[in-house]
Structure 1
């Protein structure tokens, strides 16, 4: 089913995206980086690099990440996304498009250089490209050297080419033209190196700004239609709107021991289950439903940020009625809500109430009331999930804790300049660092060879290779680490459990009292759990010690 996600007028909301820019900028910084695409496997080894047919055309880290993210999040017929709690996926995508635009401007200039010299000195250009392709094949990767054996082979091939050219039976102007075939591409390389160096400095400046806290918003003018028939801009605008709609979806996915995708593993669980008996032995219980308790909890939890003492305390939490769908632990994809009960990737309010009241046993989606705190500039996401079930005469209220840790340190790596140790001109017994160009000879050749093919991205993917992202993909949980190695993050996760549990139980007791239920057993159990939660410890609650 297709939706029109036209956002209309965009008005900044007070507090919108608060505490999420740090993680968003850290992830977005990868779009501006150089290096080997396989480096990202340090953050998640489920990511994989698919090699292409020619190593000379392989992308670097920023190019591969940008292409993978654009295809995964804006591509036609793509799989559903997992919400990125603690991050802003639209911001990351916009930075990827901005980095792509910077490289596109560079590639336009390189394409012009290649066109001019390929037309005038095609044999020489092909010879140089062939030599660099042989070198990369012998080296095996971007950072390795060809070795002595490789240098001998390259030297032999170069000498053979010179001998062949010198022995060709031509005279006059044609002889000068043949002799110009080898040095002419060197002039093209010098021109291209200047273009590549300027772009590399620009990309690194964006990389450093994002990680330094001063990153400006991404500029993507191609997302603004220039005329009513600008199909590409309209497609991009709708793609960004769909990303925002999926981010705001109220459906999440439970992947067994992996916990809720996007929220982290379940580290603790507290259950209250007692029999519903009337307060008046001769009377009866007033009818009520699970939704009445869940709604009362929602209203009381909104007051969590308030307390009797001025101590700072909780920031305003995000409180949401979630529809939770089970997926396999190793599921490669998830499904969006569909049918008449779905609206723009979310389950409508009436269906949420029905699930809460009726779908408590057997197959189907489940209802959870979630309280979420985004802390540490998006590095820590604490989610307390509450579910209310009534089976026969037993009312059960279960409170579980989920925690999503900080993103991997890979995303916090800042750009380092390239240097070389050389003898000091005065203190000859010591050495000093001499700055080197950001783009070396083989990198210029790689960029120049790729430039004409960037106008045909699918063919470039086949020839150069691609980066495959882990599935089911979400920008935040894919790169998350455990929060328990950080003392204060672990404390924050444990401390959030007690107040949420007590507020949930207080709201439940109030609804029961208003409907004529004997709350003595519920109150005693709530007090016991209130004492038990004070010594909360993180455990692998989803593995059941099995």
Structure 2
């Protein structure tokens, strides 16, 4: 089973990326797996088309933080056995993000195992005391109204009142013998357990924050995923996880896309520009017919021409090596909740076979069915900007049309690129009160320790934890990149790059098409004139909402 290149050694270090130089978007999204901020923060990254939701649970004491909710939602959505099709994440490697989610979940699992042991010894054996302290903290959180707000005077007074009552019971009890010692133990044991748990939680929080800052800073910390390394041939759970990761990578490289109306091609960003050259096919020599050719012949010539975009007459840097690929685009409804990829004998490992691509290119140009596009894609800004120009050739009656459309996928939302901030408090000095000093607080405070302790025994059954504490609902159809991407027009240089890429691609496509027409005896005067007009108009292009047809 080693033929697939997977390392079966214990504790294998998962490679960071398959493509060098495209790590910014990947690391930014992967850092979310290690974050300890409130889960509601992810709502700030909602875009015009894609919106996440935070579904509240029954008790706020069990609610997850951003990292916990993100990890669980991404794992289930991208590795679940019954999952629906995923949208490709261009400019990044989604498998790496999922691996970091698995690594973060493994770190939390080790912490929760220790906390569960503490809960059994200091909580389950002294259940009345545990329930009493849990009720106090739940009431305090309810009075606070939210996870990141203070409980105020009432909540603080309540906590002190309960503490005073507990101290009074410790000193004077109406019971003697075994029950007296048990009640004292029920009051003290949860506090002792909290002290032990606080040290464990603080150590884990420092580890998670170090990984968060490393990824947000671009250092590229690797994800260790021992759960994806089968220990023996009968380790079915780990082997299933390994196969799920391989399936995820295969789907990432699928050659089928989905066009969702005004949302554009899912995963590529909305279509911001469209340019068309459509003229009549007239023989060059009177009395002669043109040679028979197909749309595929024109597309192949354009494909070969686009492969040369990185070359130019001047040594000026220019285009990086583009990715030129044939796509099959499937239409879906604008509000579709899910998509399904083409299947059948013409599809293998999410790849539509070459002969089927040619058939669609030549024959499915009008009416229902999927369509063929030739795409040239540039991944820039360390993966933060993806520019895609899509080209389609159609022949209806005696009119040949070459259409070029521009798509731009912007950077990952700034929420995912922020680093952690230390918890500090500034107070007046005791003697020199006119001066201040800054004191660093523990990363994990009392209420956070309590939250982690009550969640720990339930992590083995996530549905119950989701019911009690809530969960993160991902936008559908889901793809890691486009779900939280911003528009590139807010960044001046990114916008310039998108606009500048259009003219060279358009002219290369037109030049290749004209060459095929000339070779097959077509009068190209009208096509050349139209090409010049479009080339002139593209110099004044500006980003528009082309899919809304309001340009």
The TM-score normalised by the length of structure 2 is 0.94
- The 8 Å contact of residues 355 and 367 in structure 1, kept in 2 or not, is answered as yes
Q: Partners of 1:197 and 1:154 in 2: how far apart? A: 23
- The 8 Å contact of residues 337 and 346 in structure 1, kept in 2 or not, is answered as no
Matched, 1:531 2:533: no
Offset at residue 175 of structure 1 (A): 1.7
Q: Partners of 2:435 and 2:172 in 1: how far apart? A: 50
Task: After superposition, give the CA deviation of every residue in 1:263-298 in whole Å (9 maximum; x if it has no partner).
Answer: 111111110000001112111111110001001110
Match of 1:248 in 2: 253
2:389 aligns to what SS in structure 1? Answer: strand
Count of residues paired in the alignment: 541
Q: Partners of 1:9 and 1:98 in 2: how far apart? A: 20
Pick the aligned partner of 1:515 from 500, 517, 520.
520
Match of 1:8 in 2: 4
Matched, 1:302 2:302: no
Match of 1:448 in 2: 453
- The 8 Å contact of residues 19 and 86 in structure 1, kept in 2 or not, is answered as no
Pick the aligned partner of 1:494 from 492, 499, 502.
499
Match of 2:28 in 1: 26
Match of 1:545 in 2: 550
Match of 2:342 in 1: 337
2:528 aligns to what SS in structure 1? Answer: helix
Offset at residue 179 of structure 1 (A): 2.2
- The 8 Å contact of residues 39 and 54 in structure 2, kept in 1 or not, is answered as yes
1:400 aligns to what SS in structure 2? Answer: strand
Pick the aligned partner of 2:471 from 448, 466, 469.
466
Q: Partners of 1:453 and 1:314 in 2: how far apart? A: 53
Offset at residue 378 of structure 1 (A): 0.9
1:189 aligns to what SS in structure 2? Answer: helix
Offset at residue 529 of structure 1 (A): 1.4
Q: Partners of 1:361 and 1:166 in 2: how far apart? A: 87
Residue 426 to residue 292, structure 1, CA distance change in 2 (3 Å): farther
Offset at residue 177 of structure 1 (A): 3.0
Offset at residue 156 of structure 1 (A): 5.1
Task: After superposition, give the CA deviation of every residue in 1:483-519 in whole Å (9 maximum; x if it has no partner).
Answer: 1111111110011011101110111011111111111
Q: Which residues of 2 match residues 259-338 of structure 1 at below 5 A?
A: 259-338=264-343
Task: After superposition, give the CA deviation of every residue in 1:58-85 in whole Å (9 maximum; x if it has no partner).
Answer: 1111000000000110012112110000
- The 8 Å contact of residues 62 and 455 in structure 2, kept in 1 or not, is answered as yes
Q: Partners of 1:338 and 1:427 in 2: how far apart? A: 76
Match of 2:81 in 1: 76
Task: After superposition, give the CA deviation of every residue in 1:295-351 in whole Å (9 maximum; x if it has no partner).
Answer: 111011101001111111100011111111111222211111112222122221111
Q: Partners of 2:306 and 2:464 in 1: how far apart? A: 53
- The 8 Å contact of residues 6 and 241 in structure 1, kept in 2 or not, is answered as no
Q: Partners of 2:252 and 2:125 in 1: how far apart? A: 52
Residue 96 to residue 135, structure 1, CA distance change in 2 (3 Å): same
- The 8 Å contact of residues 409 and 482 in structure 2, kept in 1 or not, is answered as yes
Match of 1:62 in 2: 67
Q: Which runs of 5+ in 2 are unaligned?
A: 8-13
Q: Partners of 2:486 and 2:471 in 1: how far apart? A: 25
Residue 370 to residue 206, structure 1, CA distance change in 2 (3 Å): same
Q: Which runs of 5+ in 1 are unaligned?
A: none
Match of 2:19 in 1: 17
Pick the aligned partner of 1:38 from 13, 37, 40.
40
Pick the aligned partner of 2:127 from 116, 119, 122.
122
Q: Partners of 1:502 and 1:304 in 2: how far apart? A: 11
Task: After superposition, give the CA deviation of every residue in 1:403-423 in whole Å (9 maximum; x if it has no partner).
Answer: 111111101110000001112
Match of 1:383 in 2: 388
- The 8 Å contact of residues 262 and 547 in structure 2, kept in 1 or not, is answered as yes
Q: What is the CA RMSD across the aligned residues, in angstroms?
A: 2.1
Offset at residue 162 of structure 1 (A): 6.4
Task: After superposition, give the CA deviation of every residue in 1:355-409 in whole Å (9 maximum; x if it has no partner).
Answer: 1000000111111100000000111110000000000000000011111111111
Match of 1:432 in 2: 437
Task: After superposition, give the CA deviation of every residue in 1:160-203 in whole Å (9 maximum; x if it has no partner).
Answer: 66677877642134323322321221111111000000000000
Match of 2:10 in 1: none
2:459 aligns to what SS in structure 1? Answer: helix
Q: Partners of 1:152 and 1:16 in 2: how far apart? A: 56
Matched, 1:480 2:485: yes
Match of 1:406 in 2: 411
Residue 478 to residue 6, structure 1, CA distance change in 2 (3 Å): farther
Q: Partners of 1:411 and 1:318 in 2: how far apart? A: 27
Residue 385 to residue 144, structure 1, CA distance change in 2 (3 Å): same
Q: Partners of 2:358 and 2:81 in 1: how far apart? A: 33
- The 8 Å contact of residues 380 and 406 in structure 1, kept in 2 or not, is answered as yes
- The 8 Å contact of residues 18 and 93 in structure 2, kept in 1 or not, is answered as no
Q: Partners of 1:101 and 1:436 in 2: how far apart? A: 26
Q: Partners of 1:466 and 1:179 in 2: how far apart? A: 37
Residue 303 to residue 76, structure 1, CA distance change in 2 (3 Å): same
Match of 1:367 in 2: 372
Task: After superposition, give the CA deviation of every residue in 1:222-275 in whole Å (9 maximum; x if it has no partner).
Answer: 111111111111110111111111110111111122211111111111100000
Match of 1:417 in 2: 422
Offset at residue 18 of structure 1 (A): 3.2
Q: Partners of 2:184 and 2:117 in 1: how far apart? A: 23
